[in-house]
Structure formats: structure tokens, C-alpha cells
Structure 1
Amino acid sequence: MSLDRTVLAFAGVMVLLSVVLTVWVSPLFVWFTVFIGLNLLQSAFTGLCPAAFVFRKLGIKPGCAF
């Protein structure tokens, strides 16, 4: 799996996790969802993704976007 697909899969898992936490744990976890959305927006405009840096250090092969 390339770095691009790994980052997209990780983002999807984090969004779903934040929704589950918001519904079943506390409504305040909606801020976690907001944080994820803002991070996705900034990476779209800047091309810098903190998760991509971590996954690259873990040895995931590079993709086209990151």
C-alpha cells in the first residue's frame, strides 16, 4: 500500500472513530472531528501532512501526493 492510500485510510478511520466517540462517549468529541477536518483542509492547500511524515518514517513506500 502506498503512502497516499495509507494516509487516506488513516483519515477515514479517524473520522469514523471520532463520530463513534461523539455518539457513544461525549458530544465534546465533535471537536476531534473538527480537528481532523481542519488537518485535511490544511494538507490539501499546503501539501504537508503530519500523518504522512509518521508513516514515511515507519517505512511506507512513497506515493504521488505525499
Structure 2
Amino acid sequence: MTIERAVPAFAGFMILLSVALTHWVSPYFVWLTVFVGANLFQFAFTKFCPAALVFKVTELKSAGQS
């Protein structure tokens, strides 16, 4: 798996998790959904993603690398 595929997969997982936590645990978990959405929005303009930095540490390859 590449970083470019791992980032949206992780974001999708976090959104689904936060929706489930909001429903079953506390309505305040909706703020996790807001945080993930805000990060996706700023990534569209800045191409900076904190999750991508974490994935680089785990030595996932970028799509341009072999």
C-alpha cells in the first residue's frame, strides 16, 4: 500500500469510527468528525497531511517510489 492510498483509507476509517462513537458513546465525538473533515479540507489546498507524516515513519512508499 502506498501513502497516497493509506491516507484516504485512514481518514475514512476515522470518520466511520467517530460516527459510531458519536452514536453509541457521546455526542461530543462529533468533534472528531469535524477535525478529520477540516484536515481533509486543508489538505486539498496545502497538500500537507499529518497522517502522511506518520505513514512515512512507518516506511510506506510513495506512489512515485519503487
- Provide the TM-score with structure 1 as the length reference: 0.92
- Which letter does structure 2 place at the counterpart of 1:27? P
Task: List runs of 5+ in structure 1 lacking aligned partners.
Answer: none
CA RMSD of aligned residues (A): 0.9
Identity %, equivalent residues: 59
Deviation at 1:63, TM superposition (A): 2.4
- The answer as to 2:24 corresponding to 1:24 is yes
- The answer as to 2:4 corresponding to 1:4 is yes
- Which letter does structure 2 place at the counterpart of 1:51? A
Task: List runs of 5+ in structure 2 lacking aligned partners.
Answer: none
* 1:25-64 pair list within 5 angstroms: 25-63=25-63
Distance in 2 of aligned mates of 1:63 and 1:13: 21
Cα deviation, 1:3-36, whole Å, max 9, x if unaligned, reads 1101111001000000000000001111110011
Q: Which runs of 4+ in 1 moved over 2 A?
A: none
